[in-house]
């Protein structure tokens, strides 16, 4: 069972980093019609890390019969967003760069895995790998994040 809170000497309940990441994700997905509308599913989230999947629908295929790069980018960008917002500090993309390695295929489930590489002050660096069902790399993205004012959900210092 997930331990959402731990007790310290002063007996206040403090939210664990994992519980915070999960609550951030629950709040974000409920307010993210773009990711939901594209059929993205959050598979896993932890502090600085997220895994999302998306099936390549027929309406996501370009004139060459492969997944349109914009949809692959959207999947990578959403995984990046869930990873960098897992600390309950509103964080936005500052810059993204993507390299398409192999095409995604119609009806294939793509997986985007976002991992924090560096986080210092208000800046973060995240690497996102998009893979196909057979494990091949479809795309590699590097996302730079910037934390701004605000929280994803209200959290008191005691949480």
> Average pLDDT, stretch 81-97?
97
Measured torsion, CA atoms of residues 2, 131, 32, 60, in degrees rounded to the nearest 10: -150
Length of the chain: 159
Is residue 146 within 8 A of residue 122, CB to CB? The reply is yes
Q: What is the pLDDT of residues 105-127, one digit of tens each?
A: 999 999 999 999 999 999 999 99
Q: Nearest 5°: CA angle at 71, between 49 and 124? A: 30
Region of 16 on the Ramachandran plot (φ > 0 left; ψ -120 to 50 alpha; else beta): beta
Q: What is the pLDDT of residues 5-46, one digit of tens each?
A: 444 445 456 899 999 999 999 999 999 999 999 999 999 999
CA of 109: how far to CAs of 66, 114, 138, in Å? 13, 16, 11
Is residue 70 within 8 A of residue 60, CB to CB? The reply is no
pLDDT of residue 14: 84
pLDDT at 69 over 80: yes
**Residues sharing a CB contact under 8 Å with residue 113, sequence separation 6 or more, in sequence order:** 49, 50, 51, 79, 128, 129, 130, 131
- Give the pTM: 0.90
Q: Which domains does the chain have, with CATH numbers?
A: 16-147 (3.10.129.10)
Encoded tokens for 86: 């897992």
């Amino acid at each position: 069972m997930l331990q959402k809170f731990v007790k310290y000497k002063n007996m206040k309940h403090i939210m664990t980093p994992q519980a915070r990441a999960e609550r951030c994700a629950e709040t974000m997905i409920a307010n993210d019609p773009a990711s939901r509308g594209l059929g993205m599913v959050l598979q896993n989230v932890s502090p600085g890390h997220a895994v999302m999947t998306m099936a390549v629908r027929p309406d996501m295929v370009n004139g060459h019969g492969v997944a349109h790069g914009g949809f692959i980018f959207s999947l990578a960008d959403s995984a990046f967003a869930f990873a960098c917002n897992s600390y309950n500090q509103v964080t936005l993309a500052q810059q993204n760069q993507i390299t398409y390695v192999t095409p995604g295929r119609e009806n294939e489930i793509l997986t985007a895995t976002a991992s924090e590489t560096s986080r210092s002050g208000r800046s973060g660096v995240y690497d996102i790998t998009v893979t196909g069902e057979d494990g091949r790399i479809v795309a590699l993205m590097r996302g730079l994040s910037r934390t701004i004012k605000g929280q994803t959900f209200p959290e008191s210092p005691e949480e």
